Amino acid sequence: MSFTITSLGGYIHEYQKSILNPAQFWEQIAEEFFWRKRWDVALSHDFSEPRVEWFRGGKLNIVENCLDRHLFTRGDQPAIIFEPNNGTGATPEPSRTLTYRQLHSEVCRASHALARLGVQQGDRVAIYLPLIPEAIIAMLACARLGAVHSVVFGGFSPQALRERTNDCGARVLITADGAYRGEKEVALKAAADEALRGCPLVTDVLVVKRTGAEVPMMKGGPKDRRDHWWHEALASSEPTHEAVATDAEDMLFVLYTSGSTGKPKGVVHTVGGYMVYTAYTFKNVFQCRSGHGSGSSIERDIFWCTADVGWITGHSYVTYGPLLAGSTILIYEGIPTYPDPGRYWEIIDKHHVTHFYTAPTAIRALQALGNEHIEPYHLSSLRVLGSVGEPLNEDAWHWYHHHIGKERCPVVDTWWQTETGGIMIAPLAGITPTKPAHVTLPLPGVQPVIVDTNGTELVGNSVEGNLCIRFPWPGILRTTFGDHERCRQSYFSQYPGLYFTGDGAKRDENGYIRILGRVDDVINVSGHRLGTAEIENAINEHPKVLESAVVGYPHPIKGEGIYAYAIVDLTDRSADNLVREIKETVVRIIGPIARPEVVILVPGLPKTRSGKIMRRILRSLAAGDASNFGDTSTLINPEIVEQIVAAVGSMSQP
């Protein structure tokens, strides 16, 4: 693709072009793709509604651009290298490669299978799968039909799956019998069955056989609906399929993410803009070479992004971005520490991975486990290291650069969000000079603005405030599913005319951007976003809890940990039992990623006259600072602060 930037001068030139005439800039990028019909209007927008339309009137299919377009030039090139959970040791399961041609055939078969279940353009399909090739095939099969996928992370609870499935009105669910995760076998189908007891709209379920575990296959009514084996449905389908031409602004997917209220938001991305944006950012940030044909691998990079397809990173930089660019991706089913903490480095060595993109939490965890786990492996294939999801602190940055990249590989710390669709602020690998803990400069087309709390723009360098974006880029979210007003409220109302990110940021003396973290009631645990209200709602489900408040606190590995305060009724339960039960309640309702690190049982919560919890006090205390609570004169119950301090002191927890 001819839009790859190759020098710092080139970047500056492209950036200026993109600001002077954004619509024209993105049109030139869009020309590189295959459109069934060219667009009429490149950009039409109004942030106050918000309404953003890119490439209106254009017709295309994104999967045709991911797969069909490459068949002639790279049909026999690997598209996906799959490394199973149990891919090493005495009885390893072999890794599996799908070429572009094979992936294309599988996607076509899966599209037919979905169509036979009645899935049509615009219908929603929920996907609840482990990180196996079928997860990518399922997403692409939906997109090929013009259907809308909603992937739910396999680690989410049945209740979380149910809520998301119902919110988007999915009629079909794709899941698996089970999943392998380290030592464990996860009963995914059982979790899906439990979720589906509350999903009246779901008529059919496709079940991928992964573990071979015995699972009940439910037969439905007279037309034999409900459960179907994926492999049977695909085996009886043709390997070719006429892709549906969608409008550029048709919905591609819904992906749920946490906000500051209790209910997750269904972030909506549309076909044309998302395609252009993920491909463009993938090529330029990672500088990944895709090579041609099936010949030697000299010029062909292997891109490994460790994210699960349940998160936006798994949509944009496991699936769409790399495939649009014709690259080879590696996916790994398991966890970084199974069977030992050298697993990631073993995989890089085994498959000659050139690009490695992961989260700071994984970097810090592996750093803490010791460098002896790296030593047995050759990491000389590596060319580029990436980071995403939370601030990459200086110490972890240096360790990553030195011990993994051997000081040969640029570290690209990429800032973006579920809502932005793709990377927004990041160095271009090998082009932009990097600086530890800084995400550096905006990509072409991205206009970051730092504002104070009144919304006044802080111009120039050496400023700190709230991070906003001034102008639409093709990957921006279009709405939140079923509730457009919520989209406006959440992102476009605080600072009129600007998209508000929810993050604090600093521009240093040289104009480099550093992300300071969330400024709203969202916490970022191991790169996973969780709303404090959502966790509080889960805690409050425990019958003995009267009220709760959740805050984040600095955690050495996870970035932030979850710290909960709960007012409880202690009759007939011991404090220890209650703490354990409360943690389990959160795991049951949301999933293990939301398990609170600490639960403090308290007699009350600090509240203002209007009944608002003063979280500032709870945050300082969680961070271990009981000396400075600031102004507490507006509290109606100032005496409660001392009692909470005492409760924290008396409850030591692992």
Give the binding site for ligand WT7 (CB under 6 A): 257, 312-313, 388-391, 413-418, 439, 501-503, 515, 517-518, 524, 527, 529
Q: What residue type is assigned to position 239 of the chain? A: P
CA distance 311 to 281: 17
Nearer to ligand WT7, 312 or 428 (CB): 312
Nearer to ligand WT7, 104 or 265 (CB): 265
Reference 274, options 70, 460, 431, 60; nearest CA is 60
Using CB atoms within 10 Å of the CB of residue 312, give its burial: 0 to 12 exposed, 13 to 18 middle, 19+ buried: buried
Could you tell me the smallest distance in angstroms from the CB atom of residue 317 to ligand WT7? 9
Could you tell me the smallest distance in angstroms from the CB atom of residue 473 to ligand WT7? 14
Could you tell me the smallest distance in angstroms from the CB atom of residue 430 to ligand WT7? 18
Could you tell me the smallest distance in angstroms from the CB atom of residue 270 to ligand WT7? 18
Nearer to ligand WT7, 77 or 501 (CB): 501
Spatial contact of 233 and 108, defined as CB atoms under 8 Å apart: no
Could you tell me the smallest distance in angstroms from the CB atom of residue 289 to ligand WT7? 24
Spatial contact of 85 and 182, defined as CB atoms under 8 Å apart: yes
Distance between the two ends of the chain, CA-based, in angstroms? 52
Spatial contact of 75 and 100, defined as CB atoms under 8 Å apart: yes
**Strands (DSSP E) along 76-155, which ranges?**
78-83, 96-99, 124-128, 148-151
Helix, strand, coil percentages (3-state) for the chain, rounded to 5, are: 30, 25, 45
CA distance 405 to 525: 25
Could you tell me the smallest distance in angstroms from the CB atom of residue 134 to ligand WT7? 23
Could you tell me the smallest distance in angstroms from the CB atom of residue 281 to ligand WT7? 11
Nearer to ligand WT7, 424 or 579 (CB): 424
Nearer to ligand WT7, 175 or 257 (CB): 257
Which residue bears the tokens 């992964």?
A: 210
CA distance 530 to 263: 10
CA distance 73 to 292: 6
CA distance 494 to 469: 12
Helix (H, G, I), strand (E, B) or coil at 124: strand
Nearer to ligand WT7, 149 or 528 (CB): 528
Using CB atoms within 10 Å of the CB of residue 323, give its burial: 0 to 12 exposed, 13 to 18 middle, 19+ buried: buried
Nearer to ligand WT7, 241 or 438 (CB): 438
Nearer to ligand WT7, 61 or 414 (CB): 414
CA 212 to each of CA 188, 216, 557: distance values in angstroms, whole numbers, following the listed order: 12, 12, 35
Could you tell me the smallest distance in angstroms from the CB atom of residue 38 to ligand WT7? 31
Nearer to ligand WT7, 87 or 264 (CB): 264
Q: What residue type is assigned to position 45 of the chain? A: H
Could you tell me the smallest distance in angstroms from the CB atom of residue 638 to ligand WT7? 33
Q: Taking CB positions, which residue lies at the least distance from ligand WT7?
A: 418
Nearer to ligand WT7, 178 or 422 (CB): 422
- HSE (CB half, 13 Å, CA atoms) of 241? 33
Nearer to ligand WT7, 111 or 420 (CB): 420
Nearer to ligand WT7, 64 or 413 (CB): 413
Nearer to ligand WT7, 150 or 414 (CB): 414
Nearer to ligand WT7, 159 or 361 (CB): 361
Residue 298 token pair:
């000299």
Which residue bears the tokens 């959440």?
A: 490
Could you tell me the smallest distance in angstroms from the CB atom of residue 67 to ligand WT7? 24
CA distance 260 to 486: 11
Nearer to ligand WT7, 344 or 415 (CB): 415
- What is the residue-wise DSSP string for 209-263? -SS-------B-STT--EEEEHHHHHHTS-S------EETTSEEEEEEE--SSSS
Spatial contact of 265 and 257, defined as CB atoms under 8 Å apart: yes
Q: Residue 27: enclosing H or E segment and its boundaries? A: helix 22-30
Q: Residue 108: enclosing H or E segment and its boundaries? A: helix 100-116
CA distance 346 to 334: 13
Nearer to ligand WT7, 535 or 600 (CB): 535
Largest CA distance in the chain: 74
CA distance 618 to 553: 10
CA distance 140 to 65: 11
Q: What residue type is assigned to position 426 of the chain? A: A
Could you tell me the smallest distance in angstroms from the CB atom of residue 503 to ligand WT7? 5
Could you tell me the smallest distance in angstroms from the CB atom of residue 522 to ligand WT7? 7
CA distance 54 to 23: 9
CA distance 146 to 382: 37
Q: What residue type is assigned to position 173 of the chain? A: L
Could you tell me the smallest distance in angstroms from the CB atom of residue 610 to ligand WT7? 28
